[in-house]
A and B are shown apart, each in its own frame.
Chain A
Amino acid sequence: MILLNTASAGTLESSDCLVTVSPAEKLKLEYKGANSEVFAERTMQLVESVSKKCCLSGAEISIQDQGALEITIKARLETALIRAVKGVAKE
């Protein structure tokens, strides 16, 4: 999977997260929000497993976590990646 555009998915509502992905050489994660410390490793693992599953070569990923469950973060990340591949750019 190769990203063509910057794309986002999700919201800033509580229990959700806003994921933004951009094309990049390597995988880079910026994880923000009240849980960024307590769930740093968990979220890094999640991002790595999704990018492995999608055969993602590289991406700059930013997650603003508003208290989302793992499943929610995964869904938002996958949506953002699909949007970035399709080129349905969203501001």
Chain B
Amino acid sequence: MKPCRTMLYIPGDSPGMIQHAPVFGADSILLDLEDAVALTEKDAARKMVACYLKDYDFKDLIVTVRVNGADTEFFDDDLKEIIPCVPAAIRIPKCNGPEDVLAADKKIEEIEKSNSIPVGKVRIHAMIETAVGVENAFFIASACPRVQALTLGGQDLTADMGVQKTKEGWELFYARSRVVVAARAAGVDVYDTVWADISDKEGLLKECRSIVGLGFTGKAAIHPDQIETIHQAFMPNEKEFRKALRIMEAAENAKKEGKGVISVDGKMVDAPVVARARHLLELADLYGFERSGS
């Protein structure tokens, strides 16, 4: 599968932005019905997003939709209108435990069935933005097969913890680590929270480098200008790339020869290393690395 490094937030009630969504180079977008939309315009945003999902050619862009929380009056209407348009995923805000995911899963399944959509087609991105959500992260990620990713919501989480969100991000260090490990353990993707200061690209790059190091698979962006910077942080270096090539070559040879053991540069490599190498090569493709000689 094509790696998804960036997820660009676009307010659902902003046709001026949605109409340009595919041109900014993001791997995916999030059409927002929640925080970016005023209470009086929830119906209008829902209709706008539904119409674009139905009639607009997003090309190879992955389109997800953030619905309003299950604790709001908008949640059911959001699902009823959006699921039949088959976005790649629905993002569920404020997931505190597996029961939140399961409740949404059940509702989505009903709508899928009544619209002849294969059950499980519309995935769930579970948003972790409370302290209890962080502690339950693994159970949320593994609640049902529909869950495709965990996403960290830094703004609400720091508020819930009663601390300031800072540029250095130490207050989120534990939460980030915990959510990444939970996602990895459950085998789902994991997206980091947004970087709020649009003008500070250096700060953004620094943060991106550190979350790539922690193991996040992608990061949210609040402005098209941030996309290139985020992608820069996910770019494999040449040495990693060459090594990944050797690992994949060895893995293929071992498969051909029916060997169970793969060795590269005289060292044994395990299945997770092969998986990582495969992912790294998929990433490298996005940057136009040339696999000459392989």
Using a CB–CB cutoff of 8 Å, the interface residues on chain A facing chain B are 9-10, 13-16, 68-72, 74-76, 78-79, 82-83, 90
Q: How far is the CA of A16 from the CA of B15 in the complex (A)?
A: 6
A13 touches B51 (CB 8 A): no
Q: Which of A10, A14, A75 contacts B51 (CB 8 A)?
A: A75
Q: Which 7 pairs across A and B sit closest by C-beta, in order of nearness?
A: A15-B16, A75-B51, A72-B15, A75-B48, A79-B44, A79-B47, A75-B47
Most chain B CB inside 10 Å of its own CB: which residue of A14, A68, A75: A75
Q: How far is the CA of A59 from the CA of B179 in the complex (A)?
A: 53
B256 to chain A: closest CB distance in Å? 50
B16 touches A14 (CB 8 A): yes
Q: List 30 A-B contacts (CB under 8 A).
A: A13-B16, A15-B15, A15-B16, A15-B19, A16-B15, A16-B16, A68-B15, A69-B15, A70-B55, A71-B19, A71-B51, A71-B52, A71-B55, A71-B56, A72-B19, A72-B51, A74-B55, A75-B44, A75-B47, A75-B48, A75-B50, A75-B51, A75-B52, A76-B44, A76-B48, A78-B51, A79-B44, A79-B47, A79-B48, A82-B43
Within 8 A of A (CB), among B179-201: none
B43 touches A75 (CB 8 A): no
Q: Which of B19, B40, B43, B51 contacts A74 (CB 8 A)?
A: B51
Interface residue count on the B side (C-beta < 8 Å): 13
Q: How far is the CA of A70 from the CA of B33 in the complex (A)?
A: 21
Give the residues in chain A near B56, CB-CB below 8 Å: 71
Most chain A CB inside 10 Å of its own CB: which residue of B15, B48, B50, B52: B15
Total A-B residue contacts, Cβ distance less than 8 Å: 44
A10 touches B19 (CB 8 A): no
Give the residues in chain A near B52, CB-CB below 8 Å: 71, 75
Q: How far is the CA of A74 from the CA of B51 in the complex (A)?
A: 8
Q: Which of B15, B43, B48 contacts A83 (CB 8 A)?
A: B43
Q: How far is the CA of A85 from the CA of B15 in the complex (A)?
A: 24
Give the residues in chain B near A69, CB-CB below 8 Å: 15, 19
Q: Chain B 48-60 against A: per-residue CB contact (8 Å), 1 yes, 0 no?
A: 1011100110000
Give the residues in chain B near A78, CB-CB below 8 Å: 47, 51
A71 to chain B: closest CB distance in Å? 5
B129 to chain A: closest CB distance in Å? 29
Q: How far is the CA of A14 from the CA of B48 in the complex (A)?
A: 15
Q: Smallest CB-CB separation from A69: which chain B residue?
A: B19
Q: How far is the CA of A69 from the CA of B48 in the complex (A)?
A: 12
B17 to chain A: closest CB distance in Å? 8
Q: How far is the CA of A78 from the CA of B48 in the complex (A)?
A: 9
Q: Smallest CB-CB separation from B51: which chain A residue?
A: A75
A9 touches B16 (CB 8 A): no
Q: Smallest CB-CB separation from A83: which chain B residue?
A: B43
Q: Smallest CB-CB separation from A11: which chain B residue?
A: B13
